[in-house]
């Protein structure tokens, strides 16, 4: 490439940009129709009590089965949906669909639904949550909402107001990917959380980084003093499970216990694999 003139390199760069932009535009177009074309489905990933191994709930993870591209990962399409504004309609669908499904389960486990920062910036969210609970009959105590730190560093006062109203409904709130954001301690000090979800990177580094272990220990201590539970994400090995449990994490989630899968294909505790209506 060194033989190219700067001009040639720039046009090569621009062509690359065009390609990326075209790709995003094409995904954005498709993501708008994905809802009406029923291309989304939900996967559930089990969460367990670290000490007893009992199931404590399931995280709801959105999946997009694209007609040509196949399964598109959320890390690709969620940012696009946020950029083009489709995320609020998609977020509503996830909430409604997850609550409706969980209301039919014979087991009474909790579901944890991810929220986009954009959803938490809109006061309509509170009404949406209230209406969905009423409509589906899911008890508020069975719903948890996962928010990332980035969701609350925008308009803090508004996010705080919305979170308080949601909690007043009886819904619990977890802070997702904790430790990767900017204002960790400040966030914890001022926001009403019930659970800290320790980012997967700490679990991954546990075996070869003393800092990661020290961080886990510190967050567990913080969780204890704030009386919120601490869940470790991304547990893939027995050794990680052993260390995280020894360090006092309350809950664990990761491929070791189960991959996200449609309900009916995931482990559901003592209950047989069937729905109330079946």
What would the x/- binding string for ligand C2E be over residues 225 to 244, using CB under 6 A?
A: ---------xxx--------
What would the x/- binding string for Mg ion be over residues 27 to 66, using CB under 5 A?
A: ----------------------------------------
C-alpha span between 97 and 43 (Å, rounded) = 11
Q: Which stretch binds ligand C2E (CB under 6 A): 19-27, 67-75, 150-158, 163-171?
A: 67-75
Cβ atoms within 10 Å, residue 253: 26
Task: Give the residue, chosen from 47, 56, 88, 114, that forms a contact with ligand C2E under the rule CB under 6 A.
Answer: 114
CB of 98 vs Mg ion, minimal distance in Å: 13
CB of 204 vs Mg ion, minimal distance in Å: 11
Separation in Å, CA 7 to CA 18, 21, 86, 139, 243: 16, 21, 38, 62, 55
C-alpha span between 150 and 179 (Å, rounded) = 11
The entry of Mg ion, ligand C2E, none that residue 61 binds, CB within 5 to 8 Å by partner kind: ligand C2E
CA dihedral (253, 256, 257, 260) positive or negative: positive
Contact 206, 245 (CB under 8 A): no
3-state secondary structure of 157: helix
Nearer to ligand C2E, 42 or 268 (CB): 42
The entry of ligand C2E, Mg ion, none that residue 96 binds, CB within 5 to 8 Å by partner kind: none
Q: Give the footprint of Mg ion on this chain (CB under 5 A).
A: 114, 146, 176-177, 233
């Amino acid at each position: 490439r060194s033989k190219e003139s700067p001009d040639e390199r720039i046009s090569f760069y621009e062509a690359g940009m065009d390609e990326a932009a075209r790709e995003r535009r094409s995904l954005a177009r498709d993501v708008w129709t994905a809802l009406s074309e029923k291309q989304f489905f939900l996967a559930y990933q089990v969460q367990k009590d670290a000490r007893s191994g009992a199931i404590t709930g399931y995280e709801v993870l959105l999946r997009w089965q694209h007609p040509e591209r196949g399964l598109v990962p959320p890390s690709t399409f969620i940012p696009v949906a946020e950029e083009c504004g489709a995320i609020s309609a998609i977020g509503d669908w996830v909430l409604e669909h997850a609550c409706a499904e969980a209301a039919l389960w014979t087991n009474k486990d909790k579901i944890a639904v991810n929220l986009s920062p954009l959803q938490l910036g809109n006061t309509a969210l509170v009404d949406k949550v209230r209406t969905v609970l009423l409509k589906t009959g899911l008890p508020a105590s069975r719903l948890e909402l996962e928010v990332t730190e980035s969701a609350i560093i925008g308009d803090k006062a508004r996010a705080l107001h919305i979170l308080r109203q949601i909690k007043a409904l009886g819904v619990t709130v977890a802070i997702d990917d904790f430790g990767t954001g900017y204002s960790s301690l400040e966030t914890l000090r001022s926001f009403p959380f019930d659970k800290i979800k320790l980012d997967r990177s700490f679990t991954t580094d546990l075996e070869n980084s003393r800092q990661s272990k020290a961080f886990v220990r510190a967050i567990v201590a913080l969780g204890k003093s704030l009386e919120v539970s601490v869940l470790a994400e991304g547990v893939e090995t027995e050794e990680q499970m052993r260390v995280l449990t020894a360090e006092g994490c309350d809950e664990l989630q990761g491929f070791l216990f189960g991959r996200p899968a449609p309900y009916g294909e995931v482990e559901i505790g003592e209950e047989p694999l069937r729905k109330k209506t079946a």
